[in-house]
Chains A and B, each alone.
Chain A
Amino acid sequence: MTGKTSPADSHRATRTQRSGASAASRRRDAALSRQTPLGARTTTPAKPARGPSSDPELLRRLLRAKDRMDAASHEEWPVRRLARVSCISEAHFARSFKDAFGVPPHRYLLTRRIERATSLLRDTNLPITDIAFQTGWKSLGTFGRTFRDITGESPGDLRALQKATLHELERVPACFVSAAQRPALTIAVSEKRRQDARDINAASEDEEVP
């Protein structure tokens, strides 16, 4: 793995960055890019010829992009921004991420937003509108529809359900409880919608059959 991003490049990239990242997190990106000696490791043993996605050095940098989404899932994470965190080209980022973590980056972000919204619905009394905006949605309608498509409940119903359930998870660190309730989004939301629609159509056709 040969590093293509020099510190000067990452400075330039940092300056031109536009989306929601704070100055502090941009500085951290730049610092971490510098700190990671690309291609500097010589201890990795010869490994069988596999895709570049199985290179632990690359995986570690992809994990950094995943960590950054975890830390700020309400922010916008275009591929350009994620690719920069991982010090990898935009062209390779999405594919490498999916190979490493099993889902495309945008869908991973979606699961984290839903997970966080679920926690906020359960643990706070914040209005659902506030939760939608705090978790990165630009409209309440999109949030409600996506949430229902993924979890099978509307945000309001899920809140009522969760509050009614007795929780004995106080002794488990909060992030693990939260992660355990992350939706397993193995297919795209649009595909899930199509499938649900097909099921409904199929069911109504069944009813018509005598």
Chain B
Amino acid sequence: MSQGIEVVGLYVRDQDEAVEFYVGKLGFRVHTDARNGNYRWLTVQHPEQPSFQLGLFTPEQPTLDAATVQNLREIVAKGGMPPMVLVVDDCRAACERLRARGVEFTQDPVERYGSVDASFRDPSGNGWKMIQAR
């Protein structure tokens, strides 16, 4: 594949905490972690999806003004960012495994519409739906 979406970013409140969560708990791996002063370009990857990177960014000055930074931090903390969907082979097993690692599930696995789905949040407040592949 030479064309397509390569990086989609989400806002997190703390990049170290985000690495701990997405790598340490979800099992993603760091793709790029480049710093320049306070600026840090950080992306992670699902181990089975080498062509896609998930950016873990913080809303920060001077890219954004102080009021916008504050607004974005609030919106993330209130769960106002768009949801993401993680597809897994076995939703119940994945839920059990992730919960044991301390992932905060907001909905237990439910069987419906011919699949099983559950929901969890990252420490910042970003919501994930975890759906079993049909």
Which A residues contact B (CB, under 8 angstroms)? 32, 35, 41, 43-45, 47-48, 50, 54, 56-57, 59-60, 62-64, 66-68, 70-71, 100-101, 170, 173-176
The interface size of chain B toward A, counting residues with CB under 8 Å, comes to 30
Which chain B residues lie closer than 8 Å to A32 at the CB level?
104
> A interface, by DSSP: helix, strand, loop or mixed?
helix
- Report the minimal beta-carbon distance from B13 to chain A, rounded to whole angstroms: 6
Decide yes or no: A60 and B102 within 8 Å by CB, A70-B107, A173-B85 being known contacts.
Answer: no
The B76-106 residues at the A interface (CB cut-off 8 A) are 76-79, 83, 85, 102, 104, 106
The answer to whether the Cβ of B31 comes within 8 Å of any Cβ in the partner chain is no
A123 closest partner in B (C-beta): B112
B127 closest partner in A (C-beta): A67
- Report the minimal beta-carbon distance from A62 to chain B, rounded to whole angstroms: 7
Decide yes or no: A175 and B119 within 8 Å by CB, A56-B13, A60-B124 being known contacts.
Answer: yes
Which B residues contact A (CB, under 8 angstroms)? 13-14, 61, 66-67, 69-70, 73-74, 76-79, 83, 85, 102, 104, 106-108, 112-113, 117, 119, 121, 123-125, 129, 131
Q: Which of A47, A68, A173 has the most CB of B within 10 A?
A: A173
Which chain B residues lie closer than 8 Å to A70 at the CB level?
106-107
Contact, CB under 8 Å: A67 / B78: no
- A57 to B124: give the CA distance in the assembly, Å: 9
Contact of A173 among B13, B121, B129 (CB under 8 A): B129
- A173 to B115: give the CA distance in the assembly, Å: 10
Please report the number of residue pairs spanning A and B whose Cβ atoms sit closer than 8 angstroms. Answer: 66
Contact, CB under 8 Å: A48 / B77: no
Contact, CB under 8 Å: A59 / B77: yes
- Report the minimal beta-carbon distance from A82 to chain B, rounded to whole angstroms: 15
Q: Which of A44, A54, A63, A70 has the most CB of B within 10 A?
A: A63
Which chain B residues lie closer than 8 Å to A100 at the CB level?
78
B121 closest partner in A (C-beta): A67
Contact, CB under 8 Å: A174 / B13: no
- Report the minimal beta-carbon distance from A54 to chain B, rounded to whole angstroms: 6
Decide yes or no: A63 and B108 within 8 Å by CB, A170-B113, A173-B129 being known contacts.
Answer: no
- Report the minimal beta-carbon distance from B108 to chain A, rounded to whole angstroms: 7
Which chain B residues lie closer than 8 Å to A43 at the CB level?
13-14
The 3 A-B pairs at the shortest CB distance, nearest first, are namely A59-B77, A56-B77, A67-B106
Given A50-B70, A54-B70, A54-B74, 11 additional A-B pairs, CB 8 A: A41-B14, A43-B14, A44-B73, A45-B61, A59-B125, A60-B77, A63-B125, A67-B79, A174-B117, A175-B119, A176-B83
Contact of B76 among A48, A56, A71 (CB under 8 A): A56
Decide yes or no: A71 and B66 within 8 Å by CB, A56-B77, A63-B78, A63-B125 being known contacts.
Answer: no
